[in-house]
Amino acid sequence: MSNHDIGLNIFLKRPKNRDEKYRYVYLRITIDGMVVEYSTQKIVVPEKWNAGEKKARGNSENAQSLNQYLGVLISRCRNIRMDLMERGKPISASIIKSILQGRDEDHVSLLGVFEDHNKRLSRQVIAGESSLATLQKYTIAIGHVRNFLKNRRGCSDILLRLLDYGFVEDYALWLREVRSCSGNTVAKYISNLRKIVFYAVRRGLLKADPFFGFKIKHIEILVIPLSMDELGRISKRTFNAARLSYVRDVFLFCCYTGLSYADVCALGPAHIFDGLDDSRWLHIKRIKTGVILRLPILNEAEKIIARYRRDKKCVSEGRLLPVFTNQKTNEYLKEIATLCGISRNITFHMARHTFATTITLANGVPIETVSKMLGHRSIRQTQHYAKILDQKVSEDMKKLRCKLSAG
């Protein structure tokens, strides 16, 4: 070949165990007669591989994902070669392979680092060190960055060293204009990208922080907790559909314990023990933070537990309560609110706000205790949930008036 022309060929390689039905997908890079092979670490069943077109057959999600990845890989190889030529750097098949493997910090790409982060995160989920929800969050985040690069920048990837303030600003604007994201959602995705940048900085892959000076305001959304009257209406209502009764009971249980949806999903009989005060306590490790949570079970929550002690589904699944998917739960909560004459929207997360405010703070429980029962590491986290009710303010001011009058 002349002028460092590049040859790229996708092929399948049999694993060491020849009895295996799948094959590894490899990329063969050829420059100036020198050949190297790069493992994509992807696998495919031979029957589902189109050897002529060098891609997976069919329109399944796995096939589309693999083909998209291979297309990005081919494009990335050509971009690396072009960049090396423009900068007057040596060009060879082994150098391009080295860059693909992330060994050359000048040619590490954003999506390459993002994918490496997500692969590590996936292993952490398997090891129980991180939650599946976190992995799903970053899977969605890399999809947004990939679409932004394609639709706004007209490329399949970007070198990490080319990230700058303008890139971050343009990405935030794209999220608003094209994806129609709210301010807080934009802040969330920018935070995800910032995490990837810090991930690269800690590994010495990036020297300058493209986020320096960039600020995006997070607007706190005021969640109004349920009042005791609303809790009573939901509790006393009889539903014809069993699904609504199940969701109502799980929701009320969390209103009286402060557990999140993920935590109540993981809750089983083994998480209940006898406390120091001869009452029953919950002892569970929070899914989101890993913080150990211990709290006494109120009578209202105990009654709900007793209701499902012999429930066949709960017993077979090892759960304390019957839990639907988060999406279905919130869908059914809307029905429950309508049937109970509650005009505002109710979501499952409102249960934690209700526990923090209506059940505990409004009844004189100190915020330090509430913070511990919610499994927070600091009171600052608790203040987001614990909105002091006007009723509590009124009671405190009455006490103050009495003291001042007596003086």
Which one is the CATH code of 108-219: 1.10.150.130, 1.20.120.530, 3.40.50.1100, 1.10.357.10?
Answer: 1.10.150.130
- At residue 129 the predicted structure's pLDDT band, cuts being 50, 70 and 90, is confident
- Is the pLDDT confidence value at 1 over 50? no
Q: Quick one: pLDDT at residue 205?
A: 75
Type of residue numbered 186: V
Q: Quick one: pLDDT at residue 2?
A: 45
- Residue pair 5/30 in contact (Cβ under 8 Å)? The answer is no
**Integer angstrom CA distances of residue 366 from 73, 262, 275, 382:** 56, 26, 20, 11
Distance from C-alpha of 365 to C-alpha of 60, rounded to nearest angstrom: 54
pLDDT digits (tens, 9 = 90+) for 374-385: 888 888 878 777
**Integer angstrom CA distances of residue 335 from 136, 245, 253, 265:** 28, 11, 18, 21
- Is the pLDDT confidence value at 103 over 80? no
pLDDT digits (tens, 9 = 90+) for 46-70: 999 998 999 999 889 889 989 999 9
Please, what is the angle between helix 110-126 and helix 132-151, to 10°?
170
- At residue 88 the predicted structure's pLDDT band, cuts being 50, 70 and 90, is confident
Distance from C-alpha of 333 to C-alpha of 351, rounded to nearest angstrom: 11
- At residue 105 the predicted structure's pLDDT band, cuts being 50, 70 and 90, is low
Task: Report the DSSP beta bridge partners of residue 35.
Answer: 30
Distance from C-alpha of 234 to C-alpha of 322, rounded to nearest angstrom: 18
DSSP code for 356 = I
Sign of the Cα torsion 273, 274, 280, 283 reads negative
Distance from C-alpha of 47 to C-alpha of 51, rounded to nearest angstrom: 10
Pairing of strands 6-13, 23-31: antiparallel
| Residue whose pair of structure tokens reads 């423009």 in the numeric block | 86
pLDDT digits (tens, 9 = 90+) for 295-329: 999 999 999 999 999 999 899 999 999 999 999 99
| Cβ neighbour number for residue 70 with a 10 Å cutoff | 19
pTM of the complete model: 0.61
Q: pLDDT above 90 covers what percent of the chain?
A: 46
pLDDT digits (tens, 9 = 90+) for 247-262: 999 999 999 999 999 9
Q: Quick one: pLDDT at residue 140?
A: 94
Q: Which of 165, 160, 174, 329 is nearest to 247 (CA)?
A: 329
Q: Quick one: pLDDT at residue 3?
A: 65
Written as six digits, the tokens of 344 are 């505002």
Burial of 345 (0-12, 13-18, 19+ CB in 10 A): exposed
Q: pLDDT above 70 covers what percent of the chain?
A: 94
- Residue pair 266/318 in contact (Cβ under 8 Å)? The answer is no
Radius of gyration, CA atoms only, the chain: 28
**Where does the chain hold its CATH 1.10.443.10 domain(s)?**
228-396
Type of residue numbered 85: M
Q: What is the mean pLDDT of residues 29-34?
A: 87
Q: Which of 148, 206, 198, 197 is nearest to 172 (CA)?
A: 148
Written as six digits, the tokens of 233 are 């209406």
Please, what is the angle between helix 183-202 and helix 165-177, to 10°?
150
- Is the pLDDT confidence value at 171 over 50? yes
Please tell me whether residue 35 adopts helix, strand or coil conformation: strand
Q: Which of 71, 66, 79, 78 is nearest to 22 (CA)?
A: 66
**Where does the chain hold its CATH 1.10.150.130 domain(s)?**
108-219
Kindly report the average pLDDT of the chain as a whole number. Answer: 87
pLDDT digits (tens, 9 = 90+) for 265-280: 999 999 999 877 778 9
- At residue 230 the predicted structure's pLDDT band, cuts being 50, 70 and 90, is very high
CATH 1.10.443.10 fits 228-396, yes or no: yes
Task: Report the DSSP beta bridge partners of residue 295.
Answer: 282
Written as six digits, the tokens of 311 are 């429930």
Distance from C-alpha of 258 to C-alpha of 297, rounded to nearest angstrom: 11
